[in-house]
Chain A
Amino acid sequence: MANFYRDNNDLKFHLHHPLMKKVVSLKEKDFSESSEFDYAPLDFEDAVDNYDKVLEIVGDICANIIAPNAESVDSEGPQLIKNEVKYARGTAENHEALTKAGLIGMSLPRKYNGLNFPMVPYVMAAELVSRADAGFANIWGLQDCAETIHEFGSDELKEEFLPRFNKGATAAMDLTEPDAGSDLQAVQLKATYDSNRGTWLLNGVKRFITNGDADISLVLARSEEGTLDGRGLSLFVYDRKHKSVIIRRIENKLGIKGSPTCELVFRDAPAKLVGERKFGLIKYVMSLMNSARLGVAAQSVGIAEAAFREAEKYAAERIQFGKPVIEFPAVYEMLRNMKVKIQAHRSLLYETSRFVDIYKSYNHLSEERKLEKEERNEMKKYQRLADVYTPLLKLTASEYSNQVAYDALQVHGGAGFMKDFPIERIYRDARITSIYEGTSQLQVVAAIRGVTSGLYLEHIRGVYEKMKIRPDMEYLHSMLVGMTSEYEKCVQSVLDVKENEYTDFHARRLVEMAGNIIMGYLLLEDTVRDEHYGHSAGIFIRKAYSENRERAEFINNFELKDLGIFKY
């Protein structure tokens, strides 16, 4: 039987990364729960075996239920009936299958009926679901909201909401408003405390809310009257049972049509405060957004994988000029580049997931006991890395996902433009990835800190450059060393101008240069454990080398006054 996990060796490969030992033992608190829960792992090997076997279930459901439903879900879409969102038939079937398989609340602790999975296998599941149906991946992926409640909510809030996820409760994060998109500081939806009823009441409008009619919604609202910026915002949890939200409409979108995007009107909607007042945006939503960005990166890689497979299959079957088109250089180069891009991003995706895993585990641990100094330092180190890797990953993975989908459709020729092949849906679905959860342009704003603070450079030189590599990969290693010096010079020349706008102008170029170097090293690292990655490393690094040269040339031939010719 088809299985999206078993047919992709990359996933199992990343599941066995050397750093997983640390990730797993932190998450499992040295396997102390096996006496309390009959499904907790006994040791490291048992835990990884659990991930492997559970991912096989995910791969099975993806290949045999979700993917076959994707076309009808895309054409049917959700409907708004009597102020309730009714999912397409296939969406409901997908959700039920995953719920019955116990795959909602994967990262939650066992005491809330979760699986206590680290981010790495959870992100793998997200990648698999996205490959099957990117639109559905949003509905499934919003279980991230559980993690936010778990991280910041009171015990009472956790008891009330968390156990519901495993039973199939759906979730939404209600942030965007008509006048607060990228600029969430402008959120206006009002939260007022009603002392008679003893509850917070929400009033206002939210727009572009994915899965807006969810059972459990996290809502960003202005709780401090008279404030204008992010410091007046708090995070609330709204339970659908109150029926105090009007769904104005479901948006008609270009892609991910199975995922209902709603406009909502809150009318005296009772809600509970998550954590403390005023920390809504500056702390909780920032954390939620980071998980969501990791989710979009997983979605991007999943979409690219789906697109690549469609293209490869078509190119092998389509005969023109007497042979399969895959035999023509113009086509095989495209296909090979797609595969290489996907593998590079997959390596970056799981590297980032590991960083997130380690700091989050320390964070949870710090609530139970005081961390040792060494542990605190590690937590800080990985948190800083996660903070600059997440936007870098989201930026490049979503952009590449679009490129892969574009090229995959191109390989289909005219047939790809028709509704007859899945590629047109995949192409449409890819488009949102570089827009939501922060546009690519905003990811650059976050990622540039990794450039200006020197953190990327520090990690490249301090860790990747010193890695043990295969002797036959030495030439690629020296290319990367050269690229690193070139990057360093470019960064310096931009910072020397001492003008923020100038840095902003070149920011994306610099971030992407760093990304290329990092992904190059990660692929090189992969070859140590499996020589098969040598192929991809060779292609990727040579391509990245020329891309970085181009960016460096541009920066080197640019002066502050040249900004003027671009300006409006």
Chain B
Amino acid sequence: MKKFNIVVLAKQVPDTRNVGKDAMKADGTVNRGALPAIFNPEDLHALEQALRIKDKYPDAIVTIMTMGPARAAEIIREGLYRGADRGYLLTDRKFAGSDTLATSYVLALGIKQLFPVDIVIAGRQAIDGDTAQVGPQVADKLNLPQVTYAEEVLSMEKGKIIVKRRLERGVETVEAPMPVVLTVHSSAPACRSRNARLLMKYKHAKSVSELQEMSEDYIQLQKDRPYLLIEEWGASNISADTENLGLSGSPTKVRKIENVVFKAKESKVLSSDDEDINGLIKELIENHTIG
């Protein structure tokens, strides 16, 4: 049986779905302190796709990779609880301030360390930036074909993968040679829950930075159980060129961020008469809200 090597890219993001009053700072930037840090939702869909491949091919190795500050080790643990085999945390002060170009540069170098890789799977986009650029950029940097908006992997045979894509007006089934990069759409199946046994096994998994604050007993536990160590890679581990990292490697410049609050400008009151309802339907069809 083929031992597929699968890398899942995941990002820790502020939970922008439940935004309170203090979600934005006065200067228009996101107040990360006020929002809980979560596993980017579409990356969970990506993880599920990887785990489904592993269900089918139990020898497959699913590696979860994330770039972020030390606390992003939580993302790796979350992946392990759900069935990933191992994880790498790409973390370095030099990575701070990365835009999508610098991020994909680091991720691509990280993935190269794990070569040969068969499939890289990422969520379509993260809910904090909503760019949907990182997955495609990684594919480009690794010189791999890419399938975006993936919804389901139909088969993986003889070096070829067949994938269903969810497009705005339909579904497209495509074939691509492997290795390949997939970005997964939120219409793909939701990620399975944490597994009780894996959770109890991996809840003590810690990164090197996290271990620095732990007791000696705890450090001993990590020595006895090497699988509990979450590896951290900095710029030097992935042979990154400092020029391409962080702010200096990020051509994107944010000029201004506005906090947009939607307000109703005009309103209409309709009765439940057939006449009113028909009128409304016509209007909505004419302005393309429906139909």
Binding site for B on A (CB under 8 A): 38-42, 49-50, 53-54, 57, 60-61, 97, 100-103, 106, 115
CB-based contact A115/B225 at 8 Å = no
Say whether, besides A38-B225, A42-B221, A101 and B195 are in contact (CB < 8 Å): yes
A173 CB to closest chain B CB (Å) equals 24
Asked if B201 contacts A57 (CB within 8 A), the reply is no
**A102 surroundings in chain B (CB, below 8 A):** 195-198
Neighbouring A residues of B192 by C-beta, 8 Å: 97, 100-101
Listed A/B pairs (18) with beta-carbon separation below 8 Å: A38-B201, A38-B227, A39-B197, A41-B200, A42-B221, A49-B203, A53-B200, A53-B203, A54-B199, A57-B194, A57-B196, A60-B194, A100-B192, A101-B194, A101-B196, A106-B196, A115-B196, A115-B200
Q: Which residues of A contact B195 (CB under 8 A)?
A: 57, 100-102
Of residues 162 through 206 on chain B, the ones whose CB sits less than 8 Å from some CB of chain A are 192-201, 203
- A11–B102 CA distance with the chains assembled, in angstroms: 46
What is the CB-to-nearest-CB distance from A194 to chain B, in angstroms, rounded to a whole number? 40
* CB-based contact A57/B199 at 8 Å: yes
Question: Given A38-B225, A42-B221, A103 and B203 touching (CB < 8 A)?
Answer: no
Question: Smallest CB-CB separation from A49: which chain B residue?
Answer: B203
Whether B200 lies near A61 (C-beta < 8 A) is: no
The list of the 4 closest CB pairs from A to B, nearest first, reads: A39-B200, A102-B196, A39-B201, A101-B193
Alpha-carbon gap, A115 to B199, bound state (A)? 11
Shortest distance between the CB of B267 and any CB in chain A (Å) = 23
Q: Which residues of A contact B198 (CB under 8 A)?
A: 39, 102
Quick one: which of B194-224 are within 8 Å of A by CB?
194-201, 203, 221
Find chain B residues with CB under 8 A from A60 CB.
193-194
Bound state CA distance, A411 and B169, in angstroms? 46
- B190 CB → nearest A CB, Å: 9
CA of A302 to CA of B137 in the docked complex: distance in angstroms? Answer: 50
Chain A positions within 8 Å of B193 at CB level: 57, 60-61, 97, 100-101
- Which B residues touch A100, using CB under 8 A? 192-193, 195
A-B contact count (CB 8 A): 47
| Minimal Cβ-Cβ distance residue in A for B55 | A100
Bound Cα distance from A61 to B82, whole angstroms: 13
Q: Is the CB of B200 within 8 A of A54?
A: yes
Contact between A115 and B221 (Cβ–Cβ < 8 Å)? no
Interface size class of B (residues with CB under 8 A): 10 to 19
A53 to B225, CA, bound (A): 21
* Given A38-B225, A97-B192, A115-B197 contact (CB < 8 Å): yes
Measured CB to CB, the closest approach of chain B to A89, in angstroms, equals 15
Q: Determine the chain A residues whose CB is within 8 A of the CB of B200 once the complex forms.
A: 39-41, 50, 53-54, 115
**Measured between alpha carbons, how far is A57 from B203 in the docked complex, in Å?**
13
Shortest distance between the CB of A163 and any CB in chain B (Å): 13
Distance, CA A39 to CA B205, complexed state (A) = 12
Q: How far is the CB of B287 from chain A (nearest CB, A)?
A: 33
B145 to chain A, nearest CB (A): 31
Interchain nearest-CB distance for B233 vs A (Å): 25
CB nearest neighbor in B for A53: B199
A61 CA to B194 CA in the complex, in Å? 10
Task: Give the shortest distance, in Å, between A35 (CB) and chain B (any CB).
Answer: 9
Distance to closest chain A CB from B59 (angstroms): 19
Task: Tell me which residues across on chain A come within 8 A of B196, comparing CB atoms.
Answer: 54, 57, 101-103, 106, 115
Q: How far is the CA of A106 from the CA of B198 in the complex (A)?
A: 14
For the complex, what is the distance from the CA of A335 to the CA of B196, rounded to whole Å? 35
Report the separation of the CA atoms of residues A403 and B193 in the bound assembly, to the nearest whole angstrom.
Answer: 35
Q: A57-B194, A102-B197 are in contact. List 15 more A-B contacts (CB 8 A).
A: A38-B201, A38-B227, A39-B197, A42-B221, A50-B199, A54-B199, A57-B193, A57-B195, A97-B192, A97-B193, A100-B192, A101-B196, A102-B195, A106-B196, A115-B197
Q: Which residues from B are CB-within-8-Å of A54?
A: 196, 199-200
A160 → chain B closest CB, angstroms: 22
Point out the residues of chain B lying under 8 angstroms from A39, CB to CB: 197-198, 200-201
Name the residue of chain B whose CB is nearest to the CB of A61: B193
A49 to nearest B CB, angstroms? Answer: 7
Task: Indicate with 1 or 0, residue by residue over B122-154, a CB within 8 angstroms of chain A CB atoms.
Answer: 000000000000000000000000000000000
In B215-262, the 8 Å CB interface with A consists of: 221, 225, 227
Q: Which residues of A contact B194 (CB under 8 A)?
A: 57, 60, 101
Closest to A166 in B: B197
Residues 54-94 of B contacting A (Cβ, < 8 Å): none
Interchain CA distance A54-B81 in the complex, whole Å: 11
Considering the chains assembled together, what is the distance between the CA atoms of A42 and B225 in angstroms?
13
Question: Quick one: closest B residue to A114, CB to CB?
Answer: B197
Distance of A50 Cα from B199 Cα, bound (Å): 8
| CB-defined contacts of B203 to chain A, threshold 8 Å | 49-50, 53
Distance in angstroms from B36 CB to nearest chain A CB is 11
Please, how many angstroms separate the alpha-carbon atoms of A39 and B195 in the complex? 11
For B193, B198, B199, the residue with the greatest tally of chain A CB atoms inside 10 Å of its CB is: B193
Determine the chain B residues whose CB is within 8 A of the CB of A50 once the complex forms.
199-200, 203
Specify which chain B residues have a CB less than 8 angstroms from the CB of A49 in the assembled complex. 203
Which residues of the other chain, A, contact B225 by a CB distance below 8 angstroms? 38
B197 vs chain A, min Cβ distance (A) = 5
Nearest Cβ in chain B — how far from A510, in angstroms? 42
Distance (Å) between the CB of A228 and the closest chain B CB? Answer: 46
Q: Which residues of B contact A61 (CB under 8 A)?
A: 193
Q: Least Cβ distance of B40 to chain A in Å?
A: 14
Which A-chain residue is minimally distant from B228 (CB atoms)? A38
A50 to B198, CA, bound (A): 11
Q: How far does the Cβ of B218 sit from chain A's closest Cβ, in whole Å?
A: 10
Contact partners of B201 in chain A: CB under 8 A: 38-39
For A40, the closest partner residue in chain B by CB is: B200
Q: A133 CB to closest chain B CB, in angstroms? A: 16
Residues of A within 8 A of B199 (CB): 50, 53-54, 57
Q: Which residues of A contact B197 (CB under 8 A)?
A: 39, 102, 115
- The distance from the CB of A53 to the nearest CB of chain B, in whole angstroms, is 6
Contact with A along B260-280 (1 / 0, CB 8 A): 000000000000000000000
Minimum CB–CB distance from B195 to chain A (whole Å) comes to 5
A60 to B201, CA, bound (A): 19
Interface centre among B192, B196, B200, B203 (most CB of A within 10 A): B196
Assembly CA distance A323 to B142 (angstroms): 64
Q: Which residue of A lies closest to B200 (CB)?
A: A39
Residue among A39, A60, A61 with the highest chain B CB neighbour number at 10 A = A39
> How far apart are the CA atoms of A38 and B202 in the complex, in Å?
9
For A42, list chain B residues within 8 Å (CB): 221
Instruction: Tell me the bound Cα distance from A259 to B203 in angstroms.
Output: 35
User: Closest Cβ of chain A: how far from B219's Cβ, in Å?
Assistant: 14
